[in-house]
Amino acid sequence: MYGIVSELPGFLSVKSFKADDGEELTVFRFSSEEALEAWRTHPEHVQTMKRGHAEFYVSGFLQVCKVIREVGPFDHSQRK
């Protein structure tokens, strides 16, 4: 799926994290709600989501969040 999402206009990044207890988190970043909607409704993504829910995931949840403020990145390497 990365090959598809990374080519969509407005895609910024994706990062995945796994906690020691096995919980997984994936963060997709898009430049706009329109770009997110294009990914959400992409036919191959829709099919993959259906398969994932049916075959792989027992439970889970989705959060769609809006960034209120973003600060950084910080570069502290030049401290004296």
The pLDDT, as a whole number, for residue 59 is 81
CA torsion, points 30, 59, 1, 46, in degrees to nearest 10?
-80
14 falls in which pLDDT band (50, 70, 90)?
very high
Q: How many CA atoms lie less than 13 Å away from 2 in the CB half-sphere?
A: 6
DSSP string, 1-65: -HHHHTTSTTEEEEEEEE-TTS-EEEEEEESSHHHHHHHHT-HHHHHHHHHHHHHT-SS------
Q: How confident is the prediction for the chain on average, in pLDDT?
A: 92
Residues 60-79, mean pLDDT to the nearest whole number? 89
Is 58 a residue whose pLDDT tops 90?
no
> Each residue of 21-45: pLDDT tens digit?
988 999 999 999 999 999 999 999 9
**pTM of the model as a whole:** 0.78
